[in-house]
């Protein structure tokens, strides 16, 4: 057993789950533990220890709860352009966030995928990061691409149309970077997983943190749905 994993197990034996914003004392304690990990064992082993601590069943319960909540909401449409339909209107406005509840083949998350509507010259496309391909432009409406799944679009409350477009341009500058398999390494900008890419774009460009920290230093795609900083624009069903 690596020193980071062993240290994590010893210190974490009396706590449940991962970092929880709802219990800031535990969060503070575990952040302190993270500093110990980094100093004694190195960052890679720290990331591995965090991923090993995830309770997949707990995550499934959390995922189900988030989807139940968001599916009970009425999409408002893209209020920044006054575009609205029965379920909210799908929009190709630059920087709008897209999320699917499709099954995710990752070692950490059970479900979900996220991307961001691209700006010119990538019309009718999203920028997203996928295992095997990394950050790429993918063309096509998500309702068609993820048939059988529920697809959502969300907007960030505090940003302007120009802010959102700037995030889309930022995302385009990440094209070609590899997929980030270290889900707790969200501060790297050399590689990205899907929801980290979206979160980092808004954090770096606008200063708005659209994560919830429900899973600590990992950004689950459904956190973007749950965030108090976002609002539901569209749902396909």
Show the domains of the chain with their CATH numbers.
3-52 (no CATH), 56-235 (3.90.1720.10)
Q: By three-state DSSP, how is residue 165 classified?
A: helix
Q: Taking the alpha carbons of 183, 187, 193, 197 in that order, is the dihedral positive or negative?
A: positive
Of 102, 101, 85, 82, which Cα lies nearest the Cα of 93?
A: 82
pLDDT for residue 24 = 39
CA separation, residue 123 to residues 144, 150, 151, 191, 201 (Å) = 16, 23, 19, 24, 19
With contact defined as beta carbons under 8 Å apart, do 94 and 165 qualify?
yes
Given a contact cutoff of 8 angstroms between Cβ atoms, the answer to whether 8 and 37 are in contact is yes
| Predicted local distance difference test score (pLDDT) of residue 58 | 84
Q: What is the mean pLDDT of each run of 10 residues along the chain (237 residues)?
A: 34 36 41 44 48 72 92 92 66 95 65 94 96 95 89 97 98 97 93 97 98 89 96 94
């Amino acid at each position: 057993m690596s020193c980071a994993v062993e240290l994590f197990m010893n210190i974490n034996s009396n706590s449940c789950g991962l970092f929880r914003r709802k219990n800031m004392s535990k969060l503070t304690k575990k952040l302190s533990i993270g500093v110990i990990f980094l100093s004694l064992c190195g960052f890679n082993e720290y990331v591995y220890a965090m991923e090993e601590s995830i309770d997949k069943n707990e995550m499934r319960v959390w995922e189900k709860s988030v989807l139940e909540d968001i599916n009970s909401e009425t999409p408002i449409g893209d209020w920044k352009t006054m575009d609205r339909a029965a379920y909210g209107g799908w929009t190709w406005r630059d920087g709008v966030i897209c999320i699917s509840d499709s099954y995710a083949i990752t070692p950490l998350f059970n479900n979900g995928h996220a991307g961001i509507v691209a700006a010119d010259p990538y019309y009718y496309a999203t920028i997203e990061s996928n295992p095997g391909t990394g950050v790429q432009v993918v063309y096509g409406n998500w309702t068609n691409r993820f048939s059988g799944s529920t697809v959502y679009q969300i907007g960030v409350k505090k940003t302007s149309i120009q802010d959102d477009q700037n995030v889309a341009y930022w995302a385009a500058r990440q094209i070609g970077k590899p997929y980030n398999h270290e889900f707790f390494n969200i501060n790297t900008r050399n590689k990205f997983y899907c929801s980290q890419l979206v979160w980092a774009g808004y954090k770096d460009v606008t200063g708005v943190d659209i994560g919830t920290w429900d899973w600590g230093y990992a950004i689950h795609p459904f956190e973007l749905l749950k965030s108090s900083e976002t609002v539901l624009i569209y749902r396909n069903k």
